[in-house]
Structure 1
Amino acid sequence: MLHQAPLVWGEIAVENMDRAVEFYGKHFGVSFRRETMNDMDMAILETEDKEAASIGLVKHEMMKPSAHGSVLYLHLSDKLTPLVEKIAQAGVNILLPVMPIKEGECGFIALFEDCEGNTVGLWSMESK
């Protein structure tokens, strides 16, 4: 058994970094720190806990947005249903409405399509 959570970093591929940063900032109220690492254009999600696992938006020739790749689940709200309703009203394509995991015992998830065409998940322990 692992002694710590295995996820340390996740990347969401983007074609247009400015559009992606604006999308996530507008719909989820998050902010990013922009960096260039070697030839990768990156926007790193800013968090209070600098040691916590996090994500970055990444623009690079070897990374292509996709609706059919790995899915990252983001915890961006304590209650999932109001957040999903808000982004749906703003025109974000909801691929999977809020649904319980093990009848809510393990929280709730939803899937949406981001501005780059990626399938991204949302998770929260509470729905409403």
Structure 2
Amino acid sequence: MLHQAPLVWGEIAVENMDRAVEFYGKHFGVSFKREVMNDMEMAILETKDKEAASIGLVKHEMMKPSAHGSVLYLHLSETLSPLVESITQAGVKVLLPIMAIKEGECGFIALFEDSEGNTVGLWSKDK
């Protein structure tokens, strides 16, 4: 058994960095620090805990947005219903409405399509 959480970093592929940063900022109230590493354009999610696992939006020729790849689940709200309702009203395509995991024992999830065509998940302990 691992002694720590295995996830340390996640990347979401983007075609248009400005559009992606605006999408996540507008719908989820998050901010990003933008930078370029070698030839990779990145926007790193800003968090108070610098040691916490995080994500970055990444634009690079090796990375292509996809609705059919790995799915990252983001914990961006204490309760999921208001957040999913808000993005639905804003016209964001919800792919999977809120669903309980083990009857809510392990929280709740929903899936949406981001501005780049990626399937991204939302998770919260409370519906």
* TM-score under structure 1 length normalisation: 0.99
* Alpha-carbon distance, 1:82 to partner: 0.6
For the pair 1:116 / 2:110, whether they are aligned, the reply is no
* Alpha-carbon distance, 1:70 to partner: 0.1
Instruction: Among all aligned residue pairs of Structure 1 and Structure 2, give the percentage whose two residues are the same amino acid.
Output: 87
What amino acid is aligned across from residue 7 of structure 2 in structure 1? Answer: L
Residue ranges of structure 2 left out of the alignment (5+ in a row)? none
Kindly report structure 1 stretches of 4+ aligned residues shifted beyond 2 Å: none
Secondary structure, counterpart of 1:123 in structure 2: strand
Secondary structure, counterpart of 1:102 in structure 2: coil
Give, in whole Å, the separation in 1 of the partners of 2:64 and 2:105.
35
RMSD: 0.2
Partner of 1:11: 11
* Alpha-carbon distance, 1:30 to partner: 0.1
Partner of 1:100: 100
Residue ranges of structure 1 left out of the alignment (5+ in a row)? none
* Alpha-carbon distance, 1:85 to partner: 0.4
Question: Per-residue displacement from partner, 1:6-27 (whole Å, max 9, x unpaired)?
Answer: 0000000000000000000000
Give, in whole Å, the separation in 2 of the partners of 1:70 and 1:85.
24
* TM-score under structure 2 length normalisation: 1.00
